[in-house]
Amino acid sequence: MSEVPPLVDFAEQKVESRVDDSLRAYLRSIAAIVWKDLAAEFRSRELIGAMLVFAALVILIFNFALELDIRTREAVTSGVLWVTFAFAGTLGLNRSMAIEKDRGCLDGLLLVPVDRSAIFFGKAIGNLFFMLIVEAIILPMYSVLYNVNLFQPGLILVILLGSIGYTAVGTLLASMAVQARTRDVLLPILLFPVLIPLLLAAVKASNGFLQGFEIVEIMPWVNIMIAYDVIFIAVAFMVFDYVVEE
């Protein structure tokens, strides 16, 4: 009877060791997919270049179209920013998944003996990285053109939360739309209705920080963004395997 506890401890250690090995293998799979996307993009510069040119054009068009006073420009800044991020992000998502499909990389990834959710997280993190690069370039450009200080911690947090939710939902729906012939048209049709709660909360929270509202007035919108991110990341984790099945 005295030998039972050591055997139980040994079994528990074996289980914990297997769980740790599985987790490390899962994280390595995600890191490998992210590294693949980053390496391919830094060689070609197709994705970031297209997103950046599109976002810069939108910013310039709004700058010349909105001949407004400083106060009014501050009031429309949050809307202009998120319109720019949303459309540039959609272009990036379309291009990201189209490249995978056209080159046969997506089929190769699906044949790899790893959990399909690792493919989702790898692609989502890669898309998030590309989107953050574009946003990091657009923010100082916008600040110079519109004479508005956008480098506020609260606003940066809102942009990060919005980008996480956007890429999570966008990667899931882009994986679905890429199988269709009309993928360039289908993705925005599927994506924007789902993004309405996130974009509305992002615009309201961004405007609150830019206008100097009390944190009590801003936090409900930030909480909506956090809840949206958690819910849709969990949904994508559960359904991605079924989405990519033909």
Task: Write the pLDDT tens digit of every residue in 16-54.
Answer: 556 567 778 888 888 888 898 888 888 877 788 888 888
Cβ contacts of residue 95 below 8 Å, gap of 6+?
A: 46, 47, 50
CA 149, 153, 159 angle in degrees (round to 5)? 85
Asked whether the beta carbons of 82 and 206 are under 8 A apart, the reply is yes
Q: Has residue 97 got a pLDDT over 90?
A: no
In this structure, the number of other CB atoms found within 10 A of the CB of residue 31 comes to: 14
Q: In the prediction, which pLDDT does 82 show?
A: 93
pLDDT at position 165: 94
What single string gives the DSSP state of each residue in 165-220?
HHHHHHHHHHHHHTTSTTHHHHHHHHHHHHHHHHHHHHHHHHHHHHHT--HHHHHH
Both tokens of 5, joined, read 């506890």
Q: Pick the residue with more confidence: 62 or 99?
A: 62
Residue of 27, 85, 25 whose CA lies nearest to 55: 85
pTM of the prediction? 0.86
Highest mean pLDDT among 11-20, 72-81, 145-154, 212-221: 212-221
Predicted confidence at residue 11, as pLDDT, reads: 52
Tokens of 126: 């890669």
Average of per-residue pLDDT across 58-84: 78
Q: What mean pLDDT value characterizes the chain? A: 82
Q: What is the per-residue pLDDT across 99-156, written as a single tens digit (0 to 9) for each?
A: 777 666 776 777 777 778 888 898 899 899 999 999 999 999 888 887 788 888 999 9
Q: Which domain holds residue 89?
A: 4-243
Highest mean pLDDT of the ranges 59-63, 82-86, 87-91: 82-86
Number of folded domains in the chain?
1
**Average pLDDT in the 77-82 region?**
88
Residue with the bigger pLDDT between 58 and 106: it is 58
Residues 91, 187: Cα–Cα separation, whole Å: 10
CA distance 36 to 69: 46
pLDDT of residue 174: 86
Q: Which amino acid is at 175?
A: S
Q: What is the pLDDT of residue 118?
A: 85
Q: pLDDT tens-digit profile of 183-204?
A: 777 888 888 999 999 999 999 9
